Amino acid sequence: MKIEYVKINKIKANPQNPRVIKDDKFFRLVESINEFPAMLEARPIVVNDNMMVLGGNMRLKACQESQFKEVPIIKASDFTEEQQKEFIIKDNNTFGEWDWDALANSWDAEELKDWGMDVWQPQEAEFEPSLEPETNYDEVTKEEINRKAQEMAVDIAQRMVKADKKQQDAICPKCYHEFKLQM
């Protein structure tokens, strides 16, 4: 298989393409192709003999958006119908996973984001309850959890009696499940 350049209007998007791209990611793809068009030659659009896309529907759409006149393709002329269907799925399947530690330690987050990657952004942590202010969770024993749960249950019961309520919202200290205590 060899790379050839063809007029973009000769290529047909695959109407049965099982992948979609959302607006934000699509515009990042358009930007990426415009900034680094050599990527298209490294990863040309794969078509069958009828010029229907087997791999690269989103790249074709991005090139059309960017008003490219020609794009690099590879014709998969030797593929049977079954192999074409298999290629469509396997080309879009992500077999590997990102090594987030390697990315965090060896790559610049802003560059990764600029290159179209969804980069993890730390979010402000919500309140995380603990048994004691400086308790290391690895050191908490089952007995300590049960003792604290018992203390909390007694405390809740005492507050309910004082408030003269028949129900009280409670949170399990072990799994943080919310429930109502009935007295």
Global confidence as pTM: 0.59
Residues 25-64 pLDDT 10s? 888 889 989 999 998 999 999 999 999 999 999 999 999 9
Query: How far is CA 175 from each of CA 8, 41, 45, 137, 181, rounded to the nearest angstrom?
Result: 57, 53, 50, 13, 16
Task: State whether residue 142 is helix, strand or coil.
Answer: helix
Write down the CATH number for the domain with range 3-96. Answer: 3.90.1530.10
* Domain boundaries of the chain, sorted by first residue: 3-96, 137-182
How far is 95 from 101, CA to CA, in rounded Å? Answer: 18
Task: State whether residue 128 is helix, strand or coil.
Answer: coil
